[in-house]
Amino acid sequence: MRRRAALAAFLAALLTAEAGQAATYYVDFEAGSDAASGTSTSEPWQHAPGDDNATANARLARLEPGDRVLFKGGVRYRGSIRVNASGTSERPIVFSGGMWGEAPAIIDGTEIENGAWRPCRSTADCKGHPRWAEIVTRDLDADVESMQSVFAGGRMLFLAQHPPLKDRFWHDDLWSFIDLGPAWLGLATRSSIRDERLAGEAADAYDGALVALWVEPNRVVMSPVRAYEPAQGTLHFAEIANPLPEKRGVRYAIMNRVAAIARPLDYAIDPATRRLFAMLPPELRSAQVSISQRRFAFDLTGRSHIVIEGFHVEGFAGRPDSAVEAVVNIGAGAKQIVVRDCSFESNALVRNVEAVIRIDGADGIRVERNRLRNNPKSSGIVAGRSRDIAILGNLVERAGLNGIRLIAVENALVANNRVHELRGVHGNGMSFYLENRNVAVIGNRVSAAHPAMTMHGGRDGKLPRLDLLFYANTFEGPSFSWGTLNGIHILSNVFRNDGQAKAALNLEPSDRAIILSDNVIEGLVMTNPAPPGFRLFSNTYAALSWSRSAKFGWKLEPGSRVLQGPLEVVSRKPRPALDLSLPDLAVFAPLLREPMPPLPRLPVMHVPGPKRVGANQ
C-alpha cells in the first residue's frame, strides 16, 4: 500500500513537471528509498537522479527546468552524479546540500570497509618490516589500488614513502627524494632505475611498490614496479611517457612499500594479497575504515543552467592512468553552470593536469565562494579552452598542485580569491598560460606558494595580443613570465619575494607591450632597455634586482622610487582607481559590469632599507 502511494506521488510529480511546474525532490542516503516518491521529506530517495546506483523512481525521474534536488544536511551521500538534464536561464536546475537541515550535506567518495585490524604476528607476516609489532593489518573487501585514499576514523592516512617526507602532505617534495647525482645517465631510463643502495634485498621486496619519478615538465609521476634485480639494485617499472630532466638530474622515491611504514598514519597496500598495512595510534585501531572508490562527485559535461551549491565534498581519488579527473567536472559543451558555497577537503586526484573543480570546453561558468582545503595531489580550480568564466571569492589552501590555473580561456574574471600554501612540485599559486584573452585578475592574494604567479603568452613564439589585467593583487612569493606575453596591464599590485633570494617579478625579453605602474615590487628582473611596447612609471621598489643597475643601462622610470626604509606608509596608501574609460583598459569593461566587493587592504610590509635580490648581485 505504501509503495503504491509513493508511486502515485511520483507520477503526480511527473505530471506537474510536464505541466511546466517545478518540482522539489529530496535525497536522504541513510533513510531514503528509491522506491519512494522523493517529493517530500517523509518520502525521500536514497539516490539522486543521475547516480548509476539509482533504482526504481529515482532512476526513472526526469529532471525539468526549475527542479530542485535537496540532499539532507549532515548525511553522507556515497555516490557520483552524472547530471542528465538541463535547465534554462530563467529556471536552472539546482542541486543543493544546504536547503534541508542545518549542516551541509556531505558527498563522500569513499566506501566503508568491513572486517577489523589485527596485529602483525611476525616479520614475515608484515612483509619483512623490522618493527612488525607496531604494525596492524586487515583484509580488504575488494581490489584496491595504492593511490586510492584510505581513511581511519575520518582521518586521511599517508601512503608510505622512502625516503621519509618532512611533511607527508607533499608527496612530491623533491628535497626528500633520492638524488642519483651527476652520473645518472647510466643509471636511469624512463622504465628503470639502478641504484646500489637498493641492492641485496629479498626478490619480492618491491612487489606492489610504486616509483615516484621527477620528469619534464617539472612534475612527479608514479609508476608501478614490474620487477626487481637484487644483485644490482635495479627496479623496472611501467614506462613513463615524459622525458627525464637531463639538465637537472634524476630524483626518485619509493611509495607503497610496507617496509617504508615509519610513522603513525602511514599505510601501504599489498595488491597481490589484498591486504592493508598501517601504523595506527590505539584510538584508531577500532575506528571505521573507508577507502576512496569514486573519481567524481558531479559530472556536468554537456549540460546547461545547473547550480551546485552548499555541499561538503570529500574522499574522492583518481588513478595514475586516469584520462579525466575532477571532483566537479564541467566538461565539453557545458553552459551557464554555477558552483557556489561548497567546501572540498581530502580529495586526491593524482594527476597535476586536473583539479578539484575542472572547467574544460565550457561557456558561462561561475565558481564562487567555495572553500578548497587540504586536497593533496590535486590542483584547485582549473579552466581550459573555455569562455566567459568567473572565479570569485574562493579559498584554495594546501592544494598539492596549482591553486587557480587558466589555459586558453577567453573573457574571464578572477577576483577576490585567496590562495595559500602550495608547496608541491608545480605548486603555482596562480597560472595564466597559452593565449588567454581578455582576462581580469583583481583583488586576489597568494601566499606561501612557489611560485606565487606564472604567466605565458602564445605558442611557438607567436605574439597575439592577450589583454590581461592584473590589478590590486598581492603576490607573496616570486612571480614569473615564461615569455611571449603581449598586451599585459600590471597595475597597483604588491609583489613580494617572501624572503627568497629571487626577485618578486621576473619578465622575459620576448615579452611585449607591458604596462607596469603603481606597483610595490620587491625586486624586478627585465632587460635594459625595456622590450618594445613596455611602459613603466610610478612604481615603488622595496628591493632592486641585479639588472636594476646603471652598469646595465638602467634608469629609474618617471614617478618611481626606490624605498629607503620601512614600507608601512606606502602600503597604507589608497590604490589608484581603475579607470575603464582609458583606451587601454576599455576592453575589460564588460568583465566588470557587476559590483565588485571591497578590495583587500594592502599588507603592511617592513623593509630595512634598499637591498639586492636575484642572481648576479
pLDDT for the residue 278: 98
Record the cell numbers describing residue 578, joined without a space: 581603475
CA distance 291 to 89: 39
Q: Which helix (H) or strand (E) holds 408?
A: none
Peptide bond before residue 217 is cis, with ω within 30 degrees of 0? yes
Alpha carbon separation from 35 to 7, 67, 100, 284, 335 (Å, rounded): 8, 19, 20, 37, 32
Q: Could you read off the pLDDT of 55-113 as tens digits, one per residue?
A: 999 999 999 999 999 999 999 999 999 999 999 999 999 999 999 999 999 999 999 99
Record the cell numbers describing residue 352, joined without a space: 597535476
- Cβ 438 vs Cβ 411: under 8 Å: yes
pLDDT for the residue 2: 52
DSSP 586-616: GGGGGGG-SPPPPPPPPPP----S--EESS-
Counting DSSP H helices and E strands in the chain, the numbers are 3, 54
Q: Which regions of the chain are under pLDDT 70?
A: 1-20, 320-324, 351-353, 565-574, 594-617
pLDDT for the residue 464: 85
Contacts of 606 (CB under 8 A, 6+ apart): 566, 567, 568
Instruction: For 413-435, give one letter per residue: b (16+ CB within 10 A) or e.
Output: bbbbbbbbbbbbbbbbbbbbbbb
- Cβ 84 vs Cβ 49: under 8 Å: yes
Which of 589, 596, 597 has its CA nearest to residue 438?
A: 589
Alpha carbon separation from 55 to 15, 48, 107, 225, 384 (Å, rounded): 20, 10, 19, 41, 35
CA distance 94 to 66: 7
Contacts of 592 (CB under 8 A, 6+ apart): 413, 440, 442, 578, 580
- Cβ 73 vs Cβ 98: under 8 Å: yes
pLDDT for the residue 10: 55
pLDDT for the residue 616: 45
Cα 115 to the center of its chain, rounded Å:
33
DSSP 306-352: EEEESEEEE--B--TT-S--EEEEE-TT-EEEEEES-EEES-B---T
pTM exceeds 0.85, yes or no: yes
Contacts of 158 (CB under 8 A, 6+ apart): 168, 169, 263, 265, 266, 267
- Cβ 264 vs Cβ 134: under 8 Å: no
- Bridge partners, residue 139, by sequence: 275
Q: How far apart are the first and last CA of the chain?
A: 85
CA distance 136 to 291: 17
Contacts of 578 (CB under 8 A, 6+ apart): 442, 471, 472, 491, 492, 585, 592
pLDDT for the residue 324: 60
Which of 122, 34, 107 has its CA nearest to residue 76?
A: 107
Residue in the structure block whose three cell numbers are 587592504? 601
Residue 97 class from Cβ within 10 Å (0-12 exposed, 13-18 middle, 19+ buried)?
A: buried
Cα R_g (the chain), whole angstroms: 27
Alpha carbon separation from 563 to 267, 521, 544 (Å, rounded): 52, 10, 9
